[in-house]
Structure formats: structure tokens, C-alpha cells
Amino acid sequence: MIQIYTTPSCASCRKAKKWFDQYNIPYSEKNIFSIKLSKEDIFKMLANSENGFEDIISTRSKIFKEKQLDPDAMSVQSLVDFIIEYPSVLKRPIILNENELQVGYNNEDITIFLPKELRKSEAFSAFDKEKE
């Protein structure tokens, strides 16, 4: 199942949900401001990331400056706890399934979440359009 971590005011989150709806791809949404994140949520994100915390948090977030914290100097556990307490430090949307992670919305990259049969037809239709 695809999980999308969102916030209400995030335009990219709305685009991602609209894209999944357009292709009738089921997903579960978790509003990070109304549903408390768990350590499991964060470790799932990290398991699918290429660069660990760097992929999922915004180090330019106001809260890091206010608290005078350097994420690079924090232990994994303290950074996980910090994210749970201050979920606004997460980039959005965060979209993941068992194998893939996408942070933010990108028209091309999001196609990794298309089912194989749809991916083939999407590639084929894109190829047909180029021929015209």
C-alpha cells in the first residue's frame, strides 16, 4: 500500500493525491499535523531513502534555527524524536511503498508508483505521441 505523508496547506501534496486519484491507485494519507508520527513511520522513510535524513528533512526549517540545532550533530534517536515532536521539519509530500520513496511532487518521478501494467501502457502512449 502506498502511504502519503501530507499537510493541509501543501500544494504539492494535493497534486500527488490528485495524480493517484487520476490513475485510481489506492493510497493511505497521513496528515503529519493531525496524526502523530511514529518511529516506525520515520524508519520506513529512512529504509527507502538514498541519503537518510537528508532526503526527508529540511535542514533550513525555522525550528532548527530557533532551537539552534545542527541535524548533522544529532544522534539518530534524537533526530527521530525531534521529527516526531516537530513534524514540520519533514519535506512534503513523502510518498512511499515497500520499495520506493519520493519526496516532493515530480510528474516524471511519481510514475514509479504506477502498477506495471499501467506503466507499460503509459510508456507506450508517450511513445505514440512522440511519433505524431
The secondary structure of the chain in percent helix, strand, coil, rounded to multiples of 5, reads 50, 15, 35
Beta strands in the chain (DSSP E): 2-6, 27-31, 94-96, 101-103
Q: What CATH number did the domain enclosing 59 receive?
A: 3.40.30.10
Active-site option among 5, 6, 10, 19? 10
The residue range of the domain holding 65 is 2-131
Q: Residue 132: pLDDT band by 50, 70, 90 thresholds? A: very low
Residue 41: the pLDDT is 97
Q: Domain count for the chain, please give it.
A: 1
Identify whether 10 is a catalytic site residue.
yes
Question: What does the pLDDT average to over 84-109?
Answer: 95
* pLDDT confidence tier of residue 127, bands split at 50, 70 and 90: very low
Q: Tens digits of per-residue pLDDT, 34-52?
A: 999 999 999 999 999 999 9
Residue 65 vs residue 50, higher pLDDT: 50
* Residue found under cell 502506498: 2
- Could you tell me the pLDDT band of residue 118, with boundaries at 50, 70 and 90? confident
Strand pairing report for 101-103 and 94-96: antiparallel
Q: What is the pLDDT of residue 60?
A: 84
